[in-house]
Each structure stands twice: as C-alpha cells, then as structure tokens.
Amino acid sequence: MNRPGRDDAPDRLYTITQGRSRSSPDDPFDLVTLVVAESDPVAGMQSEHAAILKLTRFPTSVAEIAAELRLPVGITKVLLSDLSAAGRVSARHPRRPAITDPDILEQVLVGLRNL
Amino acid sequence: MDSATSDARTPLGASADQGFKIVVVGGFGVGKTTLVRSVSEIRPLNTEETMTQAGATVDDIGQVRGKSATTVAFDFGRISLDLRNVLYLFGAPGQERFWFLWDRLFSGTLGAVVLVDTRRIDDSWYAIDRLEQHGTPFIVACNDFGGPVRAGADVREALDLDPQVPLVDCDARSRESAKQVLITLVQHVKNRYAGPLARAGLPRQEFV
C-alpha cells in the first residue's frame, strides 16, 4: 500500500538495518511489548535510533513505535534489538503475559468495565 | 524523522508495564476501524508488516527484491485499563495473506472478535476457520448496518458456529456497544480457561 511520505522500498529498509529484516528469534519484543528509553539521543546517532529514544521517554509499544516511524514491524524490532543490546532501551516484561491466567483476565475485565 | 513523530501523541503513564492485544478480524468495510476508533483513547494508528508470499523467513531484505513481497497493513487503537495494564486493539484484514503473518504478529493474543456484516456472511468463514485452527478464543459480533435484523440462530447456522462461541449484535460506532463486545470476548476467554465447571451458561444472542 502507498501512503504519502512513506517509502518502504527494500533499498531504504536495507540501509536502515544494514541488511537485516528480522531480529533474532529470542528478541524480547512482541507487538505490544512496552519499551522505555534508558538514555537520551546523542549526536551522530542513526536518526531512527534517536527517534525511538525520543518516543520511548514514556512507555511505548512496539506497534506504536513502528506506526510513528512509518516502518514495518519487523524492521522496527531490528532497531529495538540494537538499542536494547546497547543498553539504550529496555523492554518491560519481556516475557508474554499469562493470558490464560484468570486473575490477569479479571484485571482486563475490570479495566474494560470501568471505561 | 520529526515529521513522522506527531506532536499529538498521548503518551502512556510512566507506570504502564504490560501490554495485551485483541484482534478484530473482518472483511473490507465491515467496520473494524470504526469499532477500534469507538473505544480507543488515541486516534487509531496504522502500521504494516511485510513478508514474502510463501510466508518463509527472509533474513536478508535484499532477497525480497524480485520476489512477491506481501504487505499487510493494520489499524490499531489503545485502551489504558489501569495504571499498569494497556490493551491494544488491532483491526486486521481477514484475507488469506494476512494469516501468514498471524504467528509473527498475533501469537499471544488474548482473543479475537470476528466482525460480521450479516449481508455478507461468507466473508467470515475463512477467518473463523483459521482462528479455530490457531486455537485462538474468539466471539462473533454482527455489526448493525441498519438492514433487516437476521435471527441469531440463522447467523449461527450460516457460520456453522460452535455452540460455545458467543454471538452478539453490535453497533461499531457506539463506544458503549464496542466496549460490551470486548467485555463479552474477555468474559468468554476467562470462562474457557477457568474449566468446564466455571463455564457460563448456554451462549445466547444478545444485543449489546
């Protein structure tokens, strides 16, 4: 699909991630993992990395980061893995929640009823 | 990248630490984005994922060139449930190519809402089939387009729906109705995992 301002040509994405389209299988980032910056952007940093650090001053999901950067989710995860390896971002609860746990589901229900 | 980073963002609170996802699946024009917008605390965002047609892992983007890459775009919204828990609601196209991406994007999904236009019921068969195959708990919500109301038993039969699967009517434009759809889903998921003794009574057609 095409949207104004978006250029998802493989060449551009290749440059952003130095050729990687997938993060490692054990990366902690799910679509809804909340990511938090552990440092401020520094001069000379890759612009996508700097943008992520600005976005994640407050907890921000992988999906929101991808949407704001206008990058595919997989590419966004590669960038996040790099930042995580450098200690610049952290993933909150990198393990997936126990979505079969009745207590967790009750918390979700209470939240929805309170909307 | 400043242009891509909207100043209108509403950040989560600093204590948010757990994200959940629910997927709204349905055909084109059935009201997925409308439903997401009705309950979302943010203007729905849009993102996408790309992979090759075969669904194979591609470790080098250079390989994508010349192959038929598939891009699936989806809208999503956000609901802060409390100080820690955040629910993300994804509107996803039900067509075949989307399901190649299911495991990568939507494993660990709390559950799914199949949004149905009762005038085009067969659009939903494929999605229901795939959700059953993936073992993802789901409910069916018929979006009210103002046409003649089709009886619940009729819809259930047309969809060949398991009697355990809740079937509800909704108005995707209504925040309250969309909220009730989500509550019905999460209650269904909870019943399903709570064991046979805790299961709610017979599913029934409800107007929410």
% of chain B with per-residue pLDDT over 70 = 80
Residue A104 lies in a domain: yes
Residue A54 lies in a domain: yes
Residue A47 lies in a domain: yes
Could you tell me the pTM of the whole model? 0.85
pLDDT at A77 over 90: yes
Task: Indicate yes or no: CB of B45 within 8 angstroms of CB of A33.
Answer: no
Residue A98 lies in a domain: yes
Q: Side chain identity at B3, as an amino acid letter?
A: S
Residue of chain A nearest B182, judged by CA positions: A112
Mean pLDDT computed over B45-70: 61
Q: Across chain A, what does the average pLDDT equal?
A: 85
- Which of B1, B12, B90 is nearest residue A47 as measured by Cβ atoms? B1
Give me the interface pTM, i.e. the ipTM.
0.86
Res. B36 pLDDT band, cuts 50 70 90: very high
Per-residue model confidence (pLDDT) at position B10: 87
Comparing B174 with A21, the larger pLDDT belongs to: B174
Residue among A16, A23, A27, A32 with most chain B CBs within 10 A, to mutate: A32
Residue A4 lies in a domain: no
Residue A5 lies in a domain: no
Per-residue model confidence (pLDDT) at position A1: 46
For B191, what's the count of Cα atoms within 13 Å in the CB-facing half-sphere? 17
d(CA B122, CA B116): 9
User: Which residues on A lie below 8 Å from B19 (Cβ)?
Assistant: 30-34, 61
- Kindly list the structural domains of chain B, giving each domain's residue range(s) and its CATH number in brackets, ordered by start: 14-193 (3.40.50.300)
Task: Indicate yes or no: CB of B16 within 8 angstroms of CB of A100.
Answer: no
Cβ-Cβ pairs closer than 8 A, A with B, add up to 175
Res. A9 pLDDT band, cuts 50 70 90: low
Residue of chain B nearest A96, judged by CA positions: B108
How far does A68 lie from chain B, in Å, by closest CA?
5
Residue among A105, A106, A110 with most chain B CBs within 10 A, to mutate: A105
User: Which residues on A lie below 8 Å from B134 (Cβ)?
Assistant: none
Residue A67 lies in a domain: yes
Q: Dihedral of CA B23/B27/B28/B30: which sign? A: negative
Total domains in chain A come to: 1
Helix (H/G/I), strand (E/B), else coil: A92: strand
d(CA B147, CA A53): 49
Comparing A13 with A2, the larger pLDDT belongs to: A13
Residue among A31, A76, A79, A92 with most chain B CBs within 10 A, to mutate: A31
Asked if the C-beta of A4 comes within 8 angstroms of chain B's C-beta atoms, the answer is: no
Res. B199 pLDDT band, cuts 50 70 90: very low
pLDDT at B6 over 70: no
Enclosing domain of residue A82: 10-113
Which three-class secondary structure string do you get for chain B?
CHHHCCCCCCCCCCCCCEEEEEEEEECCCCCHHHHHHHHCCCCCEEEEEEEECCCCCCCEHHHCCCCCEEEEEEEEEEEECCCCEEEEEEEEECCHHHHCCHHHHHCCCCEEEEEECHHHHHHHHHHHHHHHHHCCCEEEEEECCCCCCCCHHHHHHHHCCCCCCCEEEECCCCHHHHHHHHHHHHHHHHHHHCCHHHCCCCCCEEEC
B123 backbone dihedrals φ, ψ, rounded to 5°: -60, -20
pLDDT at B76 over 70: yes
Residue A72 lies in a domain: yes
